[in-house]
Amino acid sequence: ETGVTQSPTHLIKTRGQQVTLRCSSQSGHNTVSWYQQALGQGPQFIFQYYREEENGRGNFPPRFSGLQFPNYSSELNVNALELDDSALYLCASSLWTSGRSSYNEQFFGPGTRLTVL
């Protein structure tokens, strides 16, 4: 069983640039969630993708967007980078099999550390 992987491990960008982060979900999982974890803080929910569609979103502006592919891997895109976007970006995959309010365990990847200069 392959765990959740993320690439790249680290990334440095400058303000105004665009970035794409990638996540491969655990084998058999169909749902991917993305989180932003600023230094010294807990993760904040960005959005979730299920069957290639956005299925819930946190309090993040539209310049944060995503994709999910038929193999359930996912991308997080951030446009017009700001200094405050510097953070650890975590993705988590799960197998969603029933009602939305039920919980299916999320397995986290190791994260991508993004630095915006």
Which spans of this chain sit near another protein (rule: CB under 8 A)?
33, 35, 40-45, 48, 56, 58, 88, 90, 92, 100-101, 103, 105-106, 108-111
CB of 76 to another protein, least distance (A): 16
CB of 12 to another protein, least distance (A): 17
| Complex with another protein: residue 71 or 101, whichever CB lies closer | 101
Q: Are 86 and 114 in contact (CB under 8 A)?
A: yes
| Complex with another protein: residue 27 or 104, whichever CB lies closer | 104
| Complex with another protein: residue 43 or 66, whichever CB lies closer | 43
Q: Are strands 10-13 and 31-37 parallel, antiparallel or unpaired?
A: unpaired
Distance CA 43, CA 37 (A): 4
Distance CA 31, CA 29 (A): 6
Q: Are 1 and 105 in contact (CB under 8 A)?
A: no
